[in-house]
Amino acid sequence: MEQINEMADSFKLLGDKTRLTILALLKERALCVCDLVELLETSQPNASQHLRKLRAAGLVNETRKGQWIYYSLSLEHKPYLQAVLDSVPSFKEKIGQLKNVCE
């Protein structure tokens, strides 16, 4: 039953378009908040709030590189979410157009 509750909580998080988009973007590669702000066309506090929820649920990892924190997917123990992300459209082309302001 606990696994069902965890799955339900994860799917609730993905019910938000912004959070689902963040995971779809991170499927392509690790990104910092400034990249996500540019790609999502949102504010830094808004992106950070969504990332905080995803991190609290164990869906993303963060890695510090200099002054920047990069976020990546953490779905090793959540194969049901990997199946969902396998169905979302690719953002590879959009990520390729990033201005790389974080570098």
- CATH architecture under which domain 2-89 falls: Orthogonal Bundle (1.10)
Note if the pTM is more than 0.85: yes
pLDDT value of residue 100: 65
pLDDT value of residue 101: 59
* Residue ranges of domains in the chain: 2-89
Within 13 Å, how many C-alpha atoms sit on residue 78's CB side? 20
pLDDT value of residue 3: 87
| Interatomic CA distance for residues 47 and 33, integer angstroms | 7
Single-letter amino acid code for the residue at 36: L
Question: Please, are residues 99 and 57 in contact by the beta-carbon 8 Å criterion?
Answer: no
Angle in degrees, 0-180, between the axes of helices 17-28 and 2-14, rounded to the nearest 10: 90
Mean pLDDT by 10 residues, the chain (103 residues): 90 94 95 94 96 95 92 91 90 84 59
